[in-house]
Structure 1
């Protein structure tokens, strides 16, 4: 809870920093806040005293928020991702952007929504978390007001997001009408008892479940509700695209998993499982095949983000495996976030210098900036699931969880889609190492010391988790 309070207060305070004539204080202060929130989450300050420990056990806001180990672990992934991503927004400071304080405040507020999505015990808190996160993203997607693509991205994201929100809220209303509660545990008990206790309300409950699957599927870019993703990711400023593809996806999948396990588990699984399985197959197929046809690195990463939502859905389909699925989602989310932050960070730096987002913009990068080329290479290999990277063991854990439930056919399909992914993930590597820089782009890309350190950390963590994946065993120790 202290994490939410600190982020909210910092977001409000940060707005007043916008009155300063210099923007150079804003980024260091935001990074300091995120580091403090991460430390609070790691050292569990919420339980540092007997009084706070008792309060934590009973929950917050009348038990609508509960910060158990599950919530703390995914909060850590979310905050760490934002902390590692923000140094690549340095060009906004250098350009003396007049809206810099507002940008960072919106990102802090969106983190509040993300944390609510992984710590809720009440459906209303889940909805509030989704909307707190989404509204900030609508604004950030269109923050480059002079760019028509950014304006188009914001409009598409807002309109389609509004429809998805309406569908999600309608599903919540139907579930409340059928069960009489918003509490996750009570709703789960009522849903499991409803078909025999009151068969007349069962259709309302089933429609509510399907509508919630659709609404949350939109938020995590799952097919067939993914149509907004490539255009929005391409049009939004690159740094915010990286934020959407990591923080939003991690929070969405973690919140989705809790909803399915606690509220929609047990005898209800056979009803919604075919729908989720269909979403999984479509997401993997459209994400990987769509990425092959792209000429823009940014759009390729957008379709890549869709495909990775499909891999994460594999753990949701296999949720009966319990801890295996939960740990697989945690490890895969962390591995995916590390690699994606590195990819978007390098792309942002290249775009600042060369003003290009296509593969040719990466040509010759290994000669001018070996560090950037190495970071992008490790990122692409991890996203492809190549051994000795975190992405490999992330996929292995997802496949292991699915295998425990007998989904061999889905695993084979996912492996084939992974093989397709290798093709488009190798294209940036080939451009950086095997092709000469285009005319006028022979100069080195400027990289600050902080950005270099962050890239080294991202590469180090990706390789370390690929060599020693057991380092995180027991971190997500929930029942």
Structure 2
């Protein structure tokens, strides 16, 4: 709760920095705000559960852990916005404040204990992302991305709200624990409304599935990621997904853990998982744009995270929660690094295809190294965080008997190696095509240090996973 207050109040204060003639203060101030939010969030560890707003919001170790992941992700991403500072972007203060406000929505998603708070969190997060997707107003692709995201996001928000309304009609409550009790033992007079409850449950799966880019509700992802400025696409791919899956887990574990409810949502979620893995990995293979490949990669990783939801053991602090937490952290670190390198290369070479990476190992060894580590982690290669992220999720699935699903996921992981190796091959094995690709990409010392830190974190998570795994 303290982190929400810090981000809200200081986010508003940050808007007034837009009146300054220079943008130089904006980046360090935004990072300082995130550090303060991270610090006050850490103070809540092992102090909960603490209830706020009549129990609508609950702060416990689960919410603190996922809040830490989203705030750290935003903090590691901010150095790659230096071009906006150098170019004198007139709306930079507003952009940073929108990012801070979107984090408020993300924290509400990992802390909610009431369906109305879930809805508010999704809306706060989504509205900020609608604006940021179209922040490059002179770019037609950015305008198209914002319009698509807004229209489809608004529609699926309506779908989600309709599911919430049906669940309320069938149970008479919005609180997760009371919904769980009503699912197991309907109150007198509510027995005949069980079909309404199950329909509302499935509709909510559809609404949240759209937010986390799960198939078959993924169709917006490639176009929106491609048109959205790379810096904000990275935020969308990491923070939004982490918060969305934490909210998804809370919904299933705390509201619908009963065996009769699982018989309804479990087959649907399993089908979504298989379809997401298939479409995400096969779709990424066919892409010629690195940015669209990362969009399909985001879809495929939603499929791996869905495995943890399918295999959950009925406990919020269980193997599934720990698997999602570790996977989200490893995925976010690698994805921020990948998008960061892509943004630096695209800003210098004005290209986002694989050929734009040709010869990067000779002109910018650091960029090539950072992108290589991130690609290997996303592919799940040993000694990277991505390997143990998949290992923990697959282990949870095997323990609960989902061996066939794990075998299919492993096959899809093998497919992913192909498209994750393509950038590495372009950087190390293909010569520069022209003068543009033969010229070194400008990289500031702050960005270089961030890329090294991201690579180091990826390796540390792959060598010493116990530092994070099992915290919940």
Match of 2:402 among 407, 420, 423: 407
**What's the counterpart of residue 435 of structure 2?**
440
Q: 1:97 is matched with which residue: 72, 84, 89?
A: 89
- Give the alignment partner of residue 263 of structure 2, picking from 267, 270, 273: 270
Q: Name which of 339, 364, 367 aligns with 2:359.
A: 364
1:194-273 alignment to 2 at 5 Å? 194=186, 198-267=190-259, 268-273=261-266
Deviation, 1:448, is 1.1
- Of 272, 282, 285 in structure 1, the residue corresponding to residue 275 of structure 2 is 282
Q: Write the deviation string for residues 118-155 of structure 1: whole angstroms up to 9, x where unpaired.
A: 00111110110000000000000000000000000000
Q: Call closer, same or farther: CA 1:198–1:181 in 2, change over 3 Å.
A: closer
Distance 2:207 2:459 in 1: 35
Instruction: Report the alpha carbon displacement of residue 253 of structure 1 after superposing the two structures with TM.
Output: 0.2
Cα separation, partners in 2 of 1:321 and 1:121, compared to 1, 3 Å: closer
8 Å CA contact retained: 2:253, 2:314: no
Matched residues in 2 for 1:196 and 1:303: separation?
47
Q: 1:126 aligns with which of 118, 122, 130?
A: 118
Pairing 1:308–2:304 present: no
How far does residue 401 in structure 1 lie from its aligned partner after superposition?
Answer: 0.5
**TM-score, length basis structure 1:** 0.96
Which residue pairs with 1:2 in the alignment?
2
| 1:144 correspondence with 2:140 | no
Whether the 8 Å contact between 1:220 and 1:248 is mirrored in structure 2 is yes
Task: Output one character per residue of 1:414-448: Cα deviation in whole Å (capped at 9) or x when no partner.
Answer: 00000000000000000000111221221111111
Instruction: Check conservation: 1:298, 1:358, Cα contact below 8 A.
Output: yes
2:455 maps to: 459
Q: Which residue of 1 aligns with 2:415?
A: 420
**In structure 1, how many angstroms separate the alpha carbons of the residues matched to 2:91 and 2:177?**
43
1:470 to 444, 466, 469: 466
Contact 1:141 1:235 in 2 (8 A): yes
1:332-357 per-position Cα deviation (integer Å, ceiling 9, x unaligned): 00000000000000000001100110
- 1:308-336: CA deviations, max 9, x gaps? 00000000000126411110000000000
Q: Distance in 2 between matches of 1:166 and 1:400?
A: 36
Q: Give 3-state SS (helix, strand or coil) of 1:59's partner.
A: strand
Q: CA deviation at 1:199?
A: 2.9
2:57 counterpart SS class: coil
**Cα distance per residue 1:137-192 (max 9 Å; x no partner):** 00000000000000000000000001100000000011011111111111111122
Q: Corresponding residue for 1:181?
A: 173
2:435 is paired with a residue of what secondary structure?
coil
- Deviation readout 1:239-289 (Å, 9 max, x if unpaired): 000000000000000010000000011121111111000100000000000
Q: Does 1:23 align with 2:53?
A: no
Q: Which runs of 5+ in 1 are unaligned?
A: 48-52
Work out the number of aligned pairs and report it. 468
User: Is the 2:257–2:314 contact (alpha carbons within 8 Å) kept by the matching residues of 1?
Assistant: no
2:102 is matched with which residue? 110
8 Å CA contact 1:321, 1:404 repeated in 2: no
Distance 1:167 1:321 in 2: 26
Q: Within 2, Cα distance between the matches of 1:19 and 1:387?
A: 49
Q: For 2:195 and 2:214, how far apart are their aligned partners in 1?
A: 25
Gaps of 5+ in 2: none
Is 1:321–1:401's contact at 8 Å kept on the other side of the alignment? no
1:388 to partner: Cα distance: 0.5
Residues 147-158 of structure 1 mapped to structure 2, 5 A cutoff:
147-158=139-150
Moved more, 174-183 or 196-205: 196-205
Partner of 1:33 in structure 2? 33
4+ residue runs over 6 A deviation: none
1:217 offset after TM fit, Å? 0.1
Q: What is the SS of the residue equivalent to 1:319? A: coil
Shift of 1:194: 2.5
Aligned-pair distance for 1:193? 1.5
Question: SS state of the match for residue 186, structure 2?
Answer: helix
Q: CA distance change for structure 1 residues 99 and 429 in 2, over 3 Å: closer, same or farther?
A: same
Q: For 1:18, what is the secondary structure of its paired residue?
A: helix
Equivalent position SS for 1:320:
coil
Q: What TM-score, normalized to structure 2?
A: 0.97
Q: Secondary structure at the match of 1:265?
A: coil
Measured in 2, the distance between the counterparts of 1:315 and 1:90 equals 36
